[in-house]
Structure 1
Amino acid sequence: MSTAKNRIAYLYVLLGAALWGIIGIFIDALSAAGFTALQIVTLRVVSAAVMLVLFLAVRDWKLLIIDIKDSFSFIGTGIFSIVFFNWCYFTAIEEVSLSVAVILLYTGPAFVAILSRIFFKEPLTRRKVGALLLTLVGCTLVIKLIPVGDQQFSWYGILVGLGSGFGYALYSIFGKHALKKYRSLTVITYTFVFASVVLLPISGITIEASQLASTQVWLHILGLGFFPTALAYMLYTVGLSMVESSRASITATIEPVVATLLGVYAFNEILSFYQLVGIVLVLSAVVLIQFKRKTVAAR
Structure 2
Amino acid sequence: MKPVSQRAASLLLMLAAFLWGGSVIAQKWGVTHFPPLRLALLRGVGATLCLLPFWWGSNDRRPFKRGELPLLFSLAFLSMIGNQLANYYGLRTIPASEAGIIMGSTPVLTALLSALFFREPLTRRRTAGCLLSFIGIVLVVARPPQAQAVASWRGDLFVCLGVLSWVSYTLLARSILKEHSSLALTMATFSIGTMLIVPLAIWETAPLQSVPPSAWGALTYLILFASVIAFFAWNIGLQAVGPTRASIFSNLIPVTALVLGVVLLSETISIKQLAGMGLILVSVWMVNRREGES
In the superposition, the TM-score normalised over structure 1's length comes to 0.83
**Equivalent residue letter for 1:139:** I
What pairs up with 1:5-154 in 2 under 5 angstroms? 5-24=5-24, 26-27=26-27, 30=30, 34-57=33-56, 59-60=57-58, 62-63=60-61, 65-93=63-91, 97-145=95-143
User: Structure 1 residue 195: deviation in Å?
Assistant: 1.3
Once the two structures are overlaid, the 10-residue window that deviates more, 93-102 or 261-270, is 93-102
Counterpart of 2:185? 187
User: Structure 1 residue 19: deviation in Å?
Assistant: 1.1
Distance 1:278 1:216, change over 3 A: closer
Counterpart of 2:267? 269
Distance 1:91 1:139, change over 3 A: same
User: Structure 1 residue 172: deviation in Å?
Assistant: 0.9
Segments of 5+ residues of structure 2 without an aligned counterpart are none
- Between the two proteins, the alignment pairs up a number of residues equal to 288
User: Structure 1 residue 120: deviation in Å?
Assistant: 3.2
Q: Give identity over the alignment, percent.
A: 27
User: Structure 1 residue 208: deviation in Å?
Assistant: 8.0
What is the CA–CA distance in structure 1 between the aligned matches of 2:224 and 2:87, rounded to whole Å?
21
Q: Which secondary structure does the structure 2 equivalent of 1:293 belong to?
A: coil
**Equivalent residue letter for 2:138:** T
Segments of 5+ residues of structure 1 without an aligned counterpart are none
Residues 6, 243 of structure 1: 8 Å contact kept: yes
Residues 95-144 of structure 1, C-alpha deviations (whole Å, 9 max, x = no match): 65543333223322222112222343210111111111112111122222
What pairs up with 1:153-164 in 2 under 5 angstroms? 158-164=156-162
Q: Which secondary structure does the structure 2 equivalent of 1:66 belong to?
A: coil
Once the two structures are overlaid, the 10-residue window that deviates more, 98-107 or 76-85, is 98-107
In the superposition, the TM-score normalised over structure 2's length comes to 0.84
User: Structure 1 residue 66: deviation in Å?
Assistant: 1.8
Counterpart of 2:252? 254
Distance 1:259 1:95, change over 3 A: closer
Of the candidates 220, 223, 226, which is equivalent to residue 224 of structure 2?
226
Residues 24, 96 of structure 2: 8 Å contact kept: no
User: Structure 1 residue 87: deviation in Å?
Assistant: 3.6
Residues 76, 170 of structure 1: 8 Å contact kept: no
**Equivalent residue letter for 2:14:** L
What is the CA–CA distance in structure 2 between the aligned matches of 1:255 and 1:216, rounded to whole Å?
22
